C-alpha cells in the first residue's frame, strides 16, 4: 500500500530490481498501488484478499510475468495452480501475451492436472502402474456399483451415491479408511466399503479425482527426497481462488511450499461458495498463521460495477460473521439503482425479464452481455420457454459435456482397455456394447471367477467355460488385435481403428436417433488429432523426472481431467442462462437475478446446515457482483416446483439491501406489520393487473393505487401478501403450535390432505407441517 509511484513509464530503472516499489516495468503500467505492491512482493508468504472485480487474475499473472522477466526465477521455478482448466488456460494465454519465454517449463494447471503430472513422473514411488487411468465421477459411481454387487451388498441399504459421497468427503479431508473414527459404529460399514473400493481401484490400476490428490500428498509426505526436490525447484508457488481449497489441497500446498518461501495465495473469503463439496474457507485463516504470512494485501478497488450495485453487495455481505474484512469501492460513480420486481407467478417473472431484455436489445446491448441467473437449474425451464416464445436467442450453461456423453465414454472405454486390459470398469462398460451376446449372466459368472482368482475380468476370461467363455474370449481377442493393429499409428489413426473394429460407429449409424452420436464420435477423432501431447505431459526442462507415457495414455488423462465444454454452440450472440455457481468469475453488462424467495434462495436445505445461510449469502454476493452496470432482482409470490404451486415469501436477503440503492418496479402492498398482513390483499385487487399481457409490463408500474405506482420506496419489511392458499393460511402469517410455540408461515404448498406449511418457529427453527395434522392457531 505504501507504493505511491503510480504507473510511471520510467525506462531507467533496473529490470533486475527486487524493490517492492514500482520498478517501472511496463508490466506494472495501469496497476493501482496495492496491485503493484502485490505483484512485486518479495518471495515470502503472501495472502492477497482480492474482492470481486478487483483484478485478481491480472495480479496473479502479472506477478508471474514480473518474476520471470526480472530474472528472479526461471520459468521452471514457477508452480501456479487453479481449480478449473478454464482458469489455467486463461492464465497461460495472458502470460503468453505478456512475456516471451517458454511457458512449458512452468507448472501451471489445475490441482488435479498437476497431481496427474506428478504421479505419472513418480508412478513407481506412488505404487501405481505407468498406465494408471483416471476415473471421473461417473466412472467412480459405476466402479462403486460394481463393487457393491461383487460384495453382495444391498444397494438399497447402502446407496452407491451415498458411498461415493462418503469416500470423496473422506479423501477431501485427507483420510484413508483406516484413519476414520468408527468408535460409534455408525460408519463401520462405510469404512469397510471405502477400503474395499480402494483395494479394487488399486487392483485395476485406476485412481479417482480425490485419489490423484491424496496419493500425491502421501508421496510428498513420505519421501523426503521427492518433496525436497520439488520444494527446491518451485521457488514460487501461486494459488488462485484460495478460498475454494479443501483440506487435502491445503496439505498439498503445505508440502510443496517451502516454509517462509515464495507462496502467493489469492482469494476472497466472501466468494467461498463451494463448502458443500469440501472447500473450507478456514484454510485462509490457517494459511495466515501456519505459513507465517508476511504480506497481507487487500485489493478493494472494484473495476467492474457501479456504486449502487457495490454498496448493496457490501451491505449484504456485512451480515456475515467472521469475515476477513474487506469493503469494495469504485471510482465509477453510483450509476443506476438496482431494479427490483415482484410478480405473482414465475411465468410473469420470466415475461418481465424478457420484456426488459427486449428493451436492452433495443438500446443496442449485446445479448451475450446479459445474464439470467438462478439458484437452481430447475428454475431455468420457465425462462427458457419464455425466451423461446419471444424469439430471443439464449444459451444455457450446464448439462452434459463432451467427454461425458455415453457414446464418447464407450469409445474411451475401448481405448482404456487397449492401454490397460485389466481395467474392469472399462471392460464391463463395453464387453457387451455394441451387443455381442454377452448377457448379465455371463458377466456374473466371469465376475465370480475373477473374484476367486483375485484377478481382473480380462484375466479370468480364459477360465470361463461354454458359449459364454467363447464370446468373452472373442471380445478379448478383439481388444488384443486392436492393440496390435494400432502399434506405431498416430493417436488419430488409433481412434479411427478402434471405432471401426469395435463396431461403435456402425452401431450408431444403424440407430434411428444415432446421427448426433456418430457426429460426436467423429468429433472424438478430431479431438485426438488436435491433441497436443506436449501441452499435457511434456516438461522439456526436466526430462529426468518424466516417465515415459504413451500419447494414448495422455489423451485418456486429458479426457478424464477435462470434460470439455458444457455450453451450447458458441458463436451466436445469445442471452446467457446459468446458475449463480457457474457465474462465478464472469461479468455482464446486465444481470437478472431471479427467484429471490425464501426456501429457494436462501435454499431451504441450506438452513439446516451449519453456516449454510452464510454460504447462501455469499452466493447472493457473488451473483450481485457479476453486474457491471445494471442489476435486476426479481421474485415471484408463487412458483411451480415439483409439479406443485408453492407460495413463497420474499427472500430475507432483500431486507439486507439498503433501500437507497434500490428502485422497486413492482406494485406493492404496503403492510406495516406481519399481523396486519392477513387483512391485506387477497387475490382480488391485484389479479387483474397481474394478468396483463407481457407487453404492458413497463417501468411505470402497474397502476396499483396503493403504492403510488412503480418506483415507490416501500418499507423494507413490507410483504406483499396478495397470494393466498386454499387452506386460508397465508405466507407471512403468525401462528402458534401447541408444541413448537410461536412461528411464522414461510411457505405453503399442496392441497387437500397434502397441504403443508413451512413454519419458521422462534424456538425450533424451520419445519414443514401437514395442515391436516398440525394444530395451529392464529396469533
Which residues in this chain contact DNA in the complex, by CB under 7 A? Answer: 83-86, 110-113, 136-137, 209, 273-274, 276-277, 375-378, 381, 398, 432, 435-437, 439, 561-563, 566, 578-579, 581-582, 603, 605-606, 609, 612, 616, 640, 642-643
Nearer to DNA, 215 or 630 (CB): 215
Rounded-to-integer distance, Cα 779 and Cα 777, Å? 6
The residue among 24 and 585 lying less far from DNA, judged by its C-beta, is 585
**Residue 542 — φ and ψ, nearest 5°?**
-135, 60
Q: Which helix (H) or strand (E) holds 760?
A: strand 756-761
Q: Minimal distance in Å, beta carbon 610 to DNA? A: 11
Quote the least distance from Cβ 399 to DNA, whole Å. 9
Q: Quick one: CA dihedral 107, 110, 115, 116, positive or negative?
A: negative
Contacts 24+ apart (CB under 8 A), 453-459: 454/203, 455/422, 456/203, 456/204, 456/421, 456/422, 456/423, 456/424, 456/427, 457/424, 457/427, 457/428, 457/431, 458/417, 458/421, 458/422, 458/424, 458/427, 459/422
Which DSSP letter does residue 549 get?
-
Active-site annotation holder among 20, 44, 57, 587: 57
What are the DSSP calls for 453-504, one per residue? HT--HHHHGGG--HHHHHHHHHHHHHHHHHHHHTTT--HHHHHHHHHHHHTH
CA distance 323 to 267: 13
Q: Which is nearer to DNA, 399 or 540 (CB)?
A: 399
For residue 472, the minimal CB distance to DNA (Å) is: 13
- Report the half-sphere exposure of 51 (CA within 13 A, side-chain side): 25
Q: Which of 40, 56, 395, 749 is catalytic?
A: 56
Instruction: Specify whether the CB–CB gap between 407 and 517 falls below 8 A.
Output: yes
- The active-site residue out of 245, 271, 351, 494 is 271
Is the distance from CB of 674 to CB of 718 less than 8 angstroms?
no
**Shortest Cβ distance from residue 277 to DNA (Å)?**
4
Query: Helices marked H in 158-270 — which ranges?
Result: 160-172, 188-204, 209-222, 224-233, 247-256
Residue 240 · residue 55 · CB < 8 Å? no
H or E segment and range at residue 267: strand 262-267
Handedness of CA 161, 167, 170, 174 (dihedral sign): negative
Q: Which residues contact 717 (CB under 8 A, 6 or more apart)?
A: 655, 671, 673
Torsion from C-alpha of 395, 399, 402, 408, nearest 10 degrees: -140
Taking the complex as a whole, the smallest distance from the CB of residue 709 to DNA amounts, in Å, to 35
Q: How far is the CB of 319 from DNA (least distance, A)?
A: 17
Query: At its nearest, how many Å lie between DNA and the CB of residue 134?
Result: 8
Beta-bridge partner residues of 576: 371, 395
271 is catalytic: yes
- The smaller minimum CB distance to DNA, of residues 211 and 423, is found at 211
- In this complex, which beta carbon is closest to DNA, that of residue 41 or of residue 556? 556
The residue among 255 and 378 lying less far from DNA, judged by its C-beta, is 378
Q: How far is the CB of 429 from DNA (least distance, A)?
A: 13
Looking at beta carbons only, is 642 or 775 nearer to DNA? 642
| 136 part of the active site | no
Query: What is the nearest approach in angstroms of DNA to the Cβ of residue 762?
Result: 23
Tell me what percent of the chain is helix, strand and coil, each rounded to the nearest 5.
45, 15, 40
CB of 46 to DNA, least distance (A): 25
369 is catalytic: no
Residue 329, preceding bond cis, omega within 30 degrees?
A: no
Q: Which one of the listed residues 63, 626, 639, 760 is annotated catalytic?
A: 626
595, 636 in Cβ contact below 8 A?
A: yes
- Output phi, psi for 706, to 5 deg: -80, 0
Sign of the Cα pseudo-torsion (693, 694, 697, 698, in order)? negative
Minimum Å distance from CB 294 to DNA? 30
Q: Which CB atom, from 194 or from 697, has the smaller least distance to DNA?
A: 194
3 state SS of 398: coil
If you ran DSSP here, which 8-state letter would residue 675 be given? Answer: G
Minimum gap (Å) between residue 270 Cβ and DNA: 16
Number of H helices, E strands in the chain: 28, 22
Any catalytic annotation for residue 241? Answer: yes
Shortest spacing between CB 413 and DNA, in angstroms: 16
Quick one: how far is CA 488 from the chain centroid? 39
Nearer to DNA, 373 or 657 (CB): 373
Q: What residues does 396 pair with on adjacent strands?
A: 577
Give φ, ψ of 655 to 5 degrees: -80, -10
- Compute the distance between CA of residue 371 and CA of residue 307 in angstroms, rounded to an integer: 20
Considering beta carbons, is residue 612 or 711 the nearer one to DNA?
612
Strand partners, 646: 639, 749
Nearer to DNA, 298 or 558 (CB): 558
- Sign of the Cα pseudo-torsion (138, 139, 142, 147, in order): negative
What is the residue-wise DSSP string for 34-61? HHHHHHT--SS-EEEEE-TTS-HHHHHH
Q: Of the two residues 294 and 381, which places its CB atom closer to DNA in the complex?
A: 381
| Residue 140, helix vs strand vs coil | helix
Among the listed residues 97, 88, 58, the one whose alpha carbon sits nearest the alpha carbon of residue 303? 58
Nearer to DNA, 405 or 422 (CB): 405
Report, as residue numbers or ranges, the catalytic residues.
56-57, 240-241, 271, 626
Amino acid at each position: 500500500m505504501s507504493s505511491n509511484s503510480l504507473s510511471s513509464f520510467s525506462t531507467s530503472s533496473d529490470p533486475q530490481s527486487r524493490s517492492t516499489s514500482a520498478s517501472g516495468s511496463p508490466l506494472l503500467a495501469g496497476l493501482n498501488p496495492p496491485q503493484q505492491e502485490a505483484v512485486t512482493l518479495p518471495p515470502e508468504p503472501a495472502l492477497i484478499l482480492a474482492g470481486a472485480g478487483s483484478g485478481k487474475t491480472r495480479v496473479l499473472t502479472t506477478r508471474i510475468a514480473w518474476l520471470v522477466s526480472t530474472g528472479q526465477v526461471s520459468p521452471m521455478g514457477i508452480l501456479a495452480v487453479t481449480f478449473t482448466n478454464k482458469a489455467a488456460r486463461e492464465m497461460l494465454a495472458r502470460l503468453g501475451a505478456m512475456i516471451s519465454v517458454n511457458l512449458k517449463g512452468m507448472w501451471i494447471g489445475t490441482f488435479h492436472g498437476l497431481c496427474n503430472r506428478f504421479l505419472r513422473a513418480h508412478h513407481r514411488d506412488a505404487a501405481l502402474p505407468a498406465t494408471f487411468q483416471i476415473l471421473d465421477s461417473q466412472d467412480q459411481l459405476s466402479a462403486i456399483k460394481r463393487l457393491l454387487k461383487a460384495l453382495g451388498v444391498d444397494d438399497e441399504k447402502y446407496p452407491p451415491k451415498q458411498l461415493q459421497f462418503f469416500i470423496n468427503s473422506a479423501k477431501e479431508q485427507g483420510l484413508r479408511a483406516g484413519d476414520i473414527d468408527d468408535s460409534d459404529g455408525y460408519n463401520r460399514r462405510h469404512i469397510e466399503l471405502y477400503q474395499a473400493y480402494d483395494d479394487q481401484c488399486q487392483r485395476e490400476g485406476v485412481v479417482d479425482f480425490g485419489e490423484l490428490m491424496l496419493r500425491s500428498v502421501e508421496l510428498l509426505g513420505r519421501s523426503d527426497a521427492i518433496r525436497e526436490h520439488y520444494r527446491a525447484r518451485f521457488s514460487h508457488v501461486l494459488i488462485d481462488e484460495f478460498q475454494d481449497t479443501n483440506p487435502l489441497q491445503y496439505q498439498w500446498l503445505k508440502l510443496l511450499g517451502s516454509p517462509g518461501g515464495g507462496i502467493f495465495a489469492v482469494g476472497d473469503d466472501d466468494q467461498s461458495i463451494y463448502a458443500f463439496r469440501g472447500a473450507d474457507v478456514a484454510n485462509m485463516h490457517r494459511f495466515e498463521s501456519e505459513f507465517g504470512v508476511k504480506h497481507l494485501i487487500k485489493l478493494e478497488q472494484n473495476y467492474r460495477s457501479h456504486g449502487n450495485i457495490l454498496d448493496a453487495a457490501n451491505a449484504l455481505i456485512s451480515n456475515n460473521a467472521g469475515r476477513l474484512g474487506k469493503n469494495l469501492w469504485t471510482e465509477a460513480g453510483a450509476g443506476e439503482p438496482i431494479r427490483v420486481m415482484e410478480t405473482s407467478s414465475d411465468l410473469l417473472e420470466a415475461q418481465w425479464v424478457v420484456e426488459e431484455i427486449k428493451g436492452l436489445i433495443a438500446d443496442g446491448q449485446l445479448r451475450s452481455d446479459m445474464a439470467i441467473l438462478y439458484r437452481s437449474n430447475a428454475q431455468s425451464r420457465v425462462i427458457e420457454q419464455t425466451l423461446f416464445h419471444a424469439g430471443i436467442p439464449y444459451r444455457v450453461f450446464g448439462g452434459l459435456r463432451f467427454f461425458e456423453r455415453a457414446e464418447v465414454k464407450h469409445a474411451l472405454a475401448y481405448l482404456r482397455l487397449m492401454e490397460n486390459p485389466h481395467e474392469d470398469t472399462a471392460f464391463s462398460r463395453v464387453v457387451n456394447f455394441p451387443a455381442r451376446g454377452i448377457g448379465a449372466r455371463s458377466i456374473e459368472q466371469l465376475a465370480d471367477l475373477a473374484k476367486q482368482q483375485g484377478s481382473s475380468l480380462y484375466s479370468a476370461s480364459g477360465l470361463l467355460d461354454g458359449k459364454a467363455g467363447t464370446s468373452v474370449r472373442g471380445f478379448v481377442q478383439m481388444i488384443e488385435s486392436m492393440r496390435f493393429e494400432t502399434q506405431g499409428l498416430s493417436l488419430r489413426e488409433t481412434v479411427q481403428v478402434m471405432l471401426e473394429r469395435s463396431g461403435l460407429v456402425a452401431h450408431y449409424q444403424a440407430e434411428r436417433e444415432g446421427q448426433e452420436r456418430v457426429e460426436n464420435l467423429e468429433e472424438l477423432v478430431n479431438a485426438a488429432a488436435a491433441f497436443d501431447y506436449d501441452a499435457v505431459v511434456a516438461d522439456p526442462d526436466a526430462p529426468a523426472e518424466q516417465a515415459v507415457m504413451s500419447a494414448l495414455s495422455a489423451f485418456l488423462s486429458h479426457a478424464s481431467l477435462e470434460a470439455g465444454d458444457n455450453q451450447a454452440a458458441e458463436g451466436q450472440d445469445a442471452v446467457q442462462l446459468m446458475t449463480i455457481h457457474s457465474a462465478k468469475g464472469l461479468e455482464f453488462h446486465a444481470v437478472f437475478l431471479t427467484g429471490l424467495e425464501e426456501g429457494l434462495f436462501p435454499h431451504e436445505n441450506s438452513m439446516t446446515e451449519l453456516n449454510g445461510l452464510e454460504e447462501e449469502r455469499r452466493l447472493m454476493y457473488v451473483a450481485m457482483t457479476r453486474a457491471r452496470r445494471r442489476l435486476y432482482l426479481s421474485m415471484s409470490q408463487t412458483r411451480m416446483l415439483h409439479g406443485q404451486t408453492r407460495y413463497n415469501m420474499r427472500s430475507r436477503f432483500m431486507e439486507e439491501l439498503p433501500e437507497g440503492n434500490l428502485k422497486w418496479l413492482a406494485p406493492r402492498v404496503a403492510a406495516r406489520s406481519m399481523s396486519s398482513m392477513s387483512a391485506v390483499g387477497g387475490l382480488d385487487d391485484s389479479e387483474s393487473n397481474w394478468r396483463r399481457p407481457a407487453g404492458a409490463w413497463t417501468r411505470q408500474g402497474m397502476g396499483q393505487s396503493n403504492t403510488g405506482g412503480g418506483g415507490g420506496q416501500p418499507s423494507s419489511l413490507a410483504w406483499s401478501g396478495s397470494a393466498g392458499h386454499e387452506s386460508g393460511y397465508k405466507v407471512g402469517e403468525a401462528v402458534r403450535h401447541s408444541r413448537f410455540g410461536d412461528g411464522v408461515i414461510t411457505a405453503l404448498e399442496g392441497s387437500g390432505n397434502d397441504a403443508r406449511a413451512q413454519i419458521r418457529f422462534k424456538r425450533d427453527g424451520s419445519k414443514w407441517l401437514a395442515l391436516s395434522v398440525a394444530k395451529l392457531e392464529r396469533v
